[in-house]
Structure 1
Amino acid sequence: MTARHNLAGFVALQQLLTRRAALVRQRDAPPEELARLRARFSERQGMQQTLEKDRDALGAEQTALEQELKALGEEREHFRRQKAQVTNMRQLTAVVSALDHVEARLAPKKDRLTEVRRKLDEIELKLTELEIESPDERAERQQAEAAWAEARKTGEAELAKTERELRRWQRELGEPAMTQFKKLWASRKPYAVVPLDGHACSFCHADLRPSLVQLVRAMQELQYCDSCRRLLYDPDQLPRLP
């Protein structure tokens, strides 16, 4: 293979690799507007799930408190009946002590039940007011999702075409040239092969020796910038891929 052919292949490979990277990003990352709409939906959905989780926990606590209060109420009534039946001071003292103990347990549980019910009312109100998406917002997000799905479909086809072109150039260049390109690409990507900018390197803007510029334009051998060591080519002879 000639230096001209290899240089053309290297330029094509770089352009194809750059295009592939852009297509992969397009495929994997949603557009900014869609990402914003998704984030809004996810945030509201998360708020709803948190409220529902809190409601479930408080609901379970409410049930447990109601059962405990019912049992304590029955226990209190039992001791009240006993109090009416005592026949001496010793029995009265014991029953009054038991009643005081039950009342002491009842008071904080009643207060907690009141607090739990208040919190449940607040959560129900918030859930009623919380609208995850209005019809217009849902339509906007679904439209953005559909547009991205179509763009990804087109991008996948373009990506497959790009992959085919990459494989074709790899076959045409052969193993020795590909080894040379891979080494250059690994150390200088994404701009391993750069065009002349008049008599300067378009990447580092260093002025090039006139003799080097002539050699680059002749394309008899691969020529590198003395400053940044990137491979140079003449854009007038090797235009960008369509």
Structure 2
Amino acid sequence: MKIGLIIIGDEILSGKRQDKHLSAFIELLAERGMSLDWAQYLGDDREHITAQLQQAFASGDLVISCGGIGATPDDHTRQAAAAALGQDLALHPQARQLIWQRICDMAAEKGETVDPDHPDTLRRLEMGVFPKDAEIVPNPFNKIPGFSYGSVYFVPGFPVMAHPMMAWVLDHKHADLHRVRGVQEKSLIVKGAMEASLTPLMEAVENDFPGIKVFSLPSVDHPQWGRHIELGVKGEAAQLDAAYGALKSGVIEFGASISTEMVR
């Protein structure tokens, strides 16, 4: 099962708001020995969101989608999810109960009474309208839930709500994916070599150590190392040391210099 993240909202693509979900989700995954396989940024285009969610539902991946589950005209995620699944939208009974409780709590704080038929109340209840076979994802911040279908989970765009909900998904729905020691990486700073010249070495290491990925991150103006290549391997700890040893030996044999070694 791969792990993906979808971040929805014109405000992210326009730069009005900076995305905080990607780094937070990567950190939550790392704490559990897991890692992110892919991420997408989508604007508020219902047809496009629908098409991408169809792929997410069909993939079998663990996917978390952030944003667009409100009840204003620029929120399209709930409708797009229903269209992608070929399902009708319906007010989820448990979501209705949780939202109603939130409405009552807020009214009590202000010393007001609640009219269940008031247009504002009905609009707020729309936030519990999900694809009819969806399950809820609890929201510890304000009780207004997200929802899920299969292994695709939908949370709000607000980080203060979304990030605890992400953690809940990982701990309560996919604890079987947690690993005591997850993917690690070792790398070294190489000077005096070009990527093209080191490519045969990288290919050889990946061929000799199945499951290990070799990465190369060149830089031309690093403040500390200047022009260099960060060359490394990542994968399960059982094979990592041997693969790294082969990579390092190959760099030395090539004749390049190694200035720094790193473990993450």
- TM-score using structure 2 length: 0.22
Query: Which structure dedicates a bigger proportion of its chain to strand?
Result: 2
Scaled by the length of structure 1, the TM-score of the pair is: 0.23
Q: Which has the higher helix share?
A: 1
